[in-house]
Structure 1
Amino acid sequence: MTMIVRNLQGVRDRITTACVAAGRDPAAVRLLAVSKTFGADAVIDAMSDGQRAFGENYVAEGVEKILALRAWQGDHPGSVGAPLEWHCIGPLQSNKTRLVAEHFDWVQSVDRLKIAQRLSEQRPPELPPLQLCLQVNIDGGANKSGVSPDEALALAREVAALPCLTLRGLMAIPEPADSFEAALAVHRQTKDLFDSINAAGFLPRPMDTLSMGMTSDLEAAIHAGSTMVRVGTAIFGGRG
């Protein structure tokens, strides 16, 4: 058993334990393995243990990895399994939207209408709709990306009307908290916002994805209602 496989199993155990403690079904929480700065070999290692969803912060690095893994799968048809699912989770500038629209399956970091419009326009027609989360700056961090909570509902309304996109939910990266209770309180703010947007009733389909929780706070996020945790360090190790 490799280190990455052992770590993956440990993270899955953490998710299961947190779900049981919160009275939730462990199947309701997906694991996104954040593979930024790690090469294709690390992704292949995770794939060997059934991991299929991967998150990338840097667009150019992510596209290079997507293409490399696609070629690897073509050379190893017996090892393909279910298709890989690639999520762009880093800040997204206008000059990178075409690469994301053409190569990724999900974008979790949309925080303004212009970016969503460009993704919609640049999504190739032969591909399925790009799955999208709005990034919310839930705790007002001065250096954080994300739409403010007060503006999130209006942005959701505009994004939901765009073609070639499917609005799936919200993503948040709050500042590190010094206790479980503090982390839980902030994550609950995101869950409340998620529920209020769904309750507004204008979406063609209710949002179903609440992407919050990382290596250090996934338990608190799951207790607050997260449906997707984004874990890198606990799976792949520290980054230099």
Structure 2
Amino acid sequence: MSNEDFVVISDISFQFGEQLILNHVELSLKKGKSYALIGKSGAGKSTLLNLIAGFIQPSQGRVTIGGGPIKKSKGNTAFLFQDLGLFPWQTVMEAIMMPLLLKKEKNREKAKEQILVLLKEMELESLKDKYPHELSGGQRQRVAIARALISKPELLLMDEPTSSLDSMTKEHIQQLILAQQQKLRTTLLFVSHDIEEAVFLGEVILILNKNGTIQEMKNPYFAQKDAKEQLGFYEACIEIRKSMNMELPMK
């Protein structure tokens, strides 16, 4: 696996009206790693995610993915929205197939085989003909994740992927996300308000401060399935919470 910088955020600022949301942010993401982006409300986490996705343009600075502009990488980037964005008229199978149709996948049999494998891995086999209104919250979440992963994106961006789920369902979804990230070696960047989720899913924890600085913390508990059974896991959560509450000097 290459260790080169895959996503590079250079001197990014973003202003909405008179409000400065991001101020001279610098960040590099390595290919194939998983990053958790956390911080206090209003720090600009979702804004930064949307800038990387190319949904909005920075007031200053630039973002490159794979050494080139965002528009050249859009076919290899997937975004999981908070509201999931499932269409009520699509079955589970149709929803997951949609990205392949948009990419004009010519080999339909190969595409169907790929979908069936992912359905099994995401525990959706028995639900493939169901519509969103027939699914639970956790099931809809798994469908949205499968749809994001079916085209095997190089970069997966997720905005609070489990925020609406109960704790048991949330942990199950986290395990599935981790398994897919490890299998595909997708570069993952996700926003979370849940510190435990960040420590479980993030190989690197990124703490975005309101002054535009980003603290990077390596996570020794990443990819450990029994991490939440270890005292050190919760000690790491406490340290991160303390770091979030520290006021760093302005740039």
**Common fold: TM-score over 0.5:** no
Structure with greater proportional helix content: 1
TM-score category (smaller protein): 0.3 to 0.5
Relative CO higher for 1 or 2, CA cutoff 8 Å, sep ≥ 6? Answer: 2
The alignment's TM-score, normalised by the length of structure 1, stands at 0.33
